[in-house]
């Protein structure tokens, strides 16, 4: 069997898949714990980010298959068992920052290996990762600025919704 023409790109794309899979698992873990603690807005942010990361896995995987490579569905690390919302957001901010940096580097490597399509995929992913970074860093700044009050407001909003919900009747 001959080696794919863009072997380096396939390697980098698979690294991206592995990083995105870890992000999906980590963000869903955070989502479950934020939801359990009553932090609906943070829970929703983590869930929506995980869904967007799933889209990234799809884009990366489609490119790997187009280049006649195989998708390695391996995760780059273990999910961190963090339960404190502030630390969750700090972790997510760091993950997004690291991803943006790596994707920038990988875009340049794809370019030097004459693979402009993979380069563009990584460049597009940088924009998404920077947007996620901005969302998470804003949340972190709000928690830093307002402390527990900021998180308490999310719990209060949930309590309002639960207390005003009309019970459903069995027919």
pLDDT digits (tens, 9 = 90+) for 70-127: 999 999 899 999 999 999 999 999 999 999 999 999 999 999 999 999 999 999 999 9
| Among 160, 168, 171, residue whose Cα is nearest residue 38 | 160
Which string of DSSP letters, residue by residue, matches 21-32? HHHHHHHHHHHH
Whole-angstrom distance, CA of residue 100 vs CA of residue 105: 9
Between 86 and 162, where is the model more confident?
86
- pLDDT, residue 1, reads 43
> What letters, b where the CB count within 10 A reaches 16 and e where it falls short, cover 85-115?
bbebbbbbbebbbebbebbbebbebbeebeb
Count CA within 13 A, CB hemisphere, residue 32.
8
Q: How confident is the model at residue 141 (pLDDT cuts 50, 70, 90)?
A: very high
Mean pLDDT of 24-30: 98
Quick check: is 100 in a domain? yes
Quick check: is 45 in a domain? yes
pLDDT at 150 over 90: no
Residue 47's domain spans which residues? 8-156
Counting the structural domains of the chain, the total is 1
What percent of the chain lies above the pLDDT cut of 70? 87
Quick check: is 3 in a domain? no
For 155, the enclosing helix (H) or strand (E) is helix 148-164
Quick check: is 57 in a domain? yes
Q: How confident is the model at residue 151 (pLDDT cuts 50, 70, 90)?
A: confident
Between 90 and 171, where is the model more confident?
90
Whole-angstrom distance, CA of residue 77 vs CA of residue 137: 22
CATH number at residue 50: 1.20.1260.10
Quick check: is 163 in a domain? no
Quick check: is 170 in a domain? no
Question: Per this entry, what is the length of the chain?
Answer: 171
Q: In the numeric block, which tokens belong to residue 109?
A: 């490597």
Mean pLDDT of 130-135: 96
- pLDDT, residue 148, reads 81
Quick check: is 162 in a domain? no
Quick check: is 70 in a domain? yes
pLDDT at 162 over 60: no
Whole-angstrom distance, CA of residue 125 vs CA of residue 161: 36
């Amino acid at each position: 069997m001959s080696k794919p023409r863009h072997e380096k790109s396939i390697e980098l794309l698979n690294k991206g898949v592995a990083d995105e899979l870890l992000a999906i698992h980590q963000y869903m873990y955070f989502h479950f714990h934020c939801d359990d603690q009553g932090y609906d807005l943070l829970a929703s942010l983590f869930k929506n980010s995980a869904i967007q990361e799933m889209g990234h896995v799809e884009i990366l995987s489609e490119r790997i298959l187009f280049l006649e490579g195989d998708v390695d569905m391996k995760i780059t690390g273990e999910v961190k068992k963090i339960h404190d919302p502030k630390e969750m957001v700090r972790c997510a901010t760091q993950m997004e920052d690291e991803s943006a940096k790596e994707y920038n580097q990988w875009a340049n490597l794809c370019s030097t290996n004459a693979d402009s399509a993979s380069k563009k995929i990584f460049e597009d992913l940088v924009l998404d990762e920077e947007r996620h970074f901005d969302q998470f860093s804003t949340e972190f700044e709000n928690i830093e600025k307002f402390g527990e009050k900021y998180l308490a407001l999310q719990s209060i909003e949930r309590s309002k919704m639960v207390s005003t919900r009309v019970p459903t009747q069995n027919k």
